[in-house]
Structure 1
Amino acid sequence: MKKEYNKIGIVAGPCSAENRGQMLETAKGLKNIGVGTIRAGLWKPRSRFGTFEGVGEHGLVWLNEIQQELGLKVMTEVALPSHVEAVMKAGIDMVWIGARTSVNPFMIHELAEALKGCDIPVWIKNPVCPDVELWIGAVERLQHAGLKDIRIIHRGFCTVGHHPYRNAPLWELAEDFRTRFPGMPFYCDPSHIAGKRELVPSVCEKALSLHIDGLFIESHCCPQEALSDSSQQLTPAALSGLLDSLHVSIEK
């Protein structure tokens, strides 16, 4: 008997927008498998000085081209009020707040103030440290600013001894968080939990067993050439194969 496929939300795209060709090729590949929202980092909070820190505002032109030519929604990470100003001016569909930002209440306050009145979905990742109250507080600050469409991304936590993963999933913390915001869309980022593409499927399986709403996953047209997080990204074709193996289809 053929197994019925469950529908879930999918947001996919490269860790970083690197150049126009890479973005368009990846977006076309993802559109072909049914993905409707493309993610790509423009400003990258890297650990070490001198590493690739993103193309910045220049990449907004490529995201606009994907919107206009392919009819896809696009989103990028914001960490400063100036980022919010730039993406709103460019008409970007959604934004996310990363784990290195959600860990700092002062930064969240500044972003919440900058996002006031913005009628777009705002996604927020868990803080890098395993502190549920800090995660809850970040959401509360966004709510206090009047934001109505807030969505959650679980990307794992930095802990000692989280082998074999890049970031420890600590599923029990994620489940604890969900009890506080039961109606909020909750996605898992298996790429940042796994850190290695061969571990992504098992992370997805566990996340799906917890009845998450979708996956926020990294996909690149040529992962081996990626300027950041090359080891955890999947090609669009590999992503399609993964979803098929998980018996899920993309919710429109």
Structure 2
Amino acid sequence: MEQTITAQSVWQKLANKQPVIISGPCSAETELQVLETAIRLAKTGKVDMLRAGIWKPRTKPGNFEGVGTEGLVWLQKAREITGLPFTIEVATAKHVEDSLKHAADILWIGARTTVNPFSVQEVADALQGVDIPVFVKNPVNPDLDLWIGAIERLQKAGIKRIAVVHRGFSNYGNTEYRNAPMWHIPIELKRRMPDMPMLCDPSHIGGRRDI
């Protein structure tokens, strides 16, 4: 299928403060799962971009940590079939290299990477001279300076198209939300960086369909 939605058109919607919907499985588990999901999402006519995690930073060892680079081939095929561009999470220079090799449309830095300046710098260094949009999720802990620091590292690497993703913050004990939204933090980021496009990740914040 001809790709009528592109990374540039998605970025233009963000820049114009229009709603952008990014959807897909938390983890890419099989080629069939990725393709079936992409086809169903494309048929709605409401989704702008496909996402799926292929490198999953788990809390404890032994849990499923993603299918790895093989998943990029599945996402490329999904794009060919549906016309939906795809975005992928990167946490290392090798992730960046593999994602660019497979023509990922947009990259994102996850919350567990944003929290580590060394990891963010590694990704930023790998992106030197590359013109690609990058989304930066808030760090898992409620630290605005860490979030802004990650943005600044990418800016210093020459990345021009940066957006932030508010996905809530980790907290201890039982709460209404899976990740506490702490709305004052993204609001303060927008106050300091009013031109920075911002997306909201309701799945990570809510953790339940009913909210």
The TM-score with structure 2 as length reference comes to 0.89
Displacement over 2 Å in runs of 4+: 159-162
Q: CA deviation at 1:159?
A: 2.4
**Which residue of the partner structure matches residue 7 of structure 2?**
none
Q: Distance in 2 between matches of 1:161 and 1:132?
A: 22
Higher strand share: 1
CA contact (8 A) 1:127 1:134 kept: yes
Q: CA deviation at 1:197?
A: 1.7
The higher relative CO (CA closer than 8 Å, separation ≥ 6) is in 1
CA-based RMSD of the aligned residues comes to 1.3
Among 82, 106, 122, the alignment partner of 2:94 is: 82
Identity %: 54
Q: CA deviation at 1:160?
A: 3.2
Q: CA deviation at 1:50?
A: 1.0
The TM-score with structure 1 as length reference comes to 0.75
Partner letter of residue 29 of structure 2? E
Q: How does 1:179-194 map to 2 (within 5 A)?
A: 179-194=191-206
Among 24, 34, 52, the alignment partner of 1:23 is: 34
Q: CA deviation at 1:135?
A: 0.6
- Do residues 68 (structure 1) and 80 (structure 2) align? yes
- Do residues 139 (structure 1) and 151 (structure 2) align? yes
- Do residues 33 (structure 1) and 61 (structure 2) align? no
Structure 2: gaps of 5 or more residues: 1-16
CA contact (8 A) 2:79 2:86 kept: yes
CA contact (8 A) 2:20 2:48 kept: no
**Which residue of the partner structure matches residue 19 of structure 2?**
8
Partner letter of residue 165 of structure 1? Y
Structure 1: gaps of 5 or more residues: 1-5, 200-252
Q: CA deviation at 1:162?
A: 6.2
Secondary structure of the structure 1 residue equivalent to 2:40: helix
